[in-house]
Amino acid sequence: MLLAPVSVDHPHAGNAVGIRDKLKAATAVAHHALDERLSGFDLTARAHYRRFLQASAAALLPLEAALRKAGVAAMFEDWPLRTRSTAITADLNQLGGTVNLLPVPSEPLGRCGVLGTLYVLEGSRLGAAYLMRVAAASADPRVRAATRYLCHGSGQGLWRGFLDRLEREPMSADDERTTIVSAQQAFALFAKAVEAA
């Protein structure tokens, strides 16, 4: 990645593996296209890194707001550890960046919408670990110092914790479709943000 989940072996069989595989397959084209667009950013250069953060924030901030409105904290008690709005805003402030927030679908997220959206957001941490190494190699000390977003949650097992929760969720065929559509919408929002950048 750069933004989305990569395949990670999971010790449990059952529902989560099934829905995760379906999510991965259903978002594969969007994932690849987004990676291609993101590869155009040189994260060691301040201007490029700032544009990357601005694009990421344009999608992340409204998606996290939609999750909060949907009651994500009631589903995920560790939500305060997961939210990255404060981290990316601090990085942008440090680099003098601005954000033009993108609109999210007006229909509120339900349980499956929360899961689909979090599939994209939590999976993005895997790619962020790689991007963090790139930014950390910058010759610009301001770039190296503005990496709260990329290193957020490092070592806390948040992706694995999300998969564990996903495994326990009952999923009908309709639930799976709703979860997948929400993940696709989250990818589309990031794609739109990167294209605008």
Task: Tell me the per-residue pLDDT of 20-59, one tens digit each, with 9 for 90 and over.
Answer: 999 999 999 999 999 899 888 999 999 999 999 999 999 9
The CATH number assigned to the domain with range 15-196 reads 1.20.910.10
Which residues make Cβ contacts (< 8 Å) with residue 149, sequence separation at least 6? Answer: 53, 56, 84, 87, 88, 91, 128
pLDDT at 178 > cutoff 50: yes
Our measurement of the distance from residue 169's CA atom to the centroid of its chain's CA atoms, rounded to an integer in Å, reads: 20
Q: Are 148 and 88 in contact (CB under 8 A)?
A: yes
Cα radius of gyration (the chain): 16
pLDDT of residue 107: 86
Which residues neighbour 130 within 8 Å (Cβ) at sequence distance 6 or greater? 1, 2
Q: What mean pLDDT comes out for the span 172-176?
A: 96
Instruction: Give me the amino acid identity at 5.
Output: P
DSSP 8-state symbol, 150: H
pLDDT band, residue 168 (cuts 50/70/90): confident
**Band of the pLDDT at 1, cuts 50, 70, 90?**
very low
State the number of CA atoms in the 13 A half-sphere of 162 facing the CB. 25
Residue with tokens 């667009």: 37
pLDDT at 167: 83
Mean pLDDT computed over 150-155 = 94
The domains of the chain are located at: 15-196
Residues sharing a CB contact under 8 Å with residue 31, sequence separation 6 or more, in sequence order? 1, 3, 4, 5, 187
Residue-level pLDDT at 8: 37
* In the chain, % of residues over pLDDT 90: 80
Span between the terminal Cα atoms of the chain, in Å: 18
Rounded distance between C-alpha atoms, residue 86 and residue 82, angstroms: 11
Residue 185 has pLDDT above 70, yes or no: yes
Q: What is the pTM of this model?
A: 0.89
Q: What proportion of the chain, given as a percentage, has pLDDT over 70? A: 91
Q: Looking at residues 80-90, what average pLDDT do you find?
A: 97
Which is higher by pLDDT, 137 or 9?
137
Nearest 5 degrees, angle CA 133-CA 91-CA 151?
A: 35
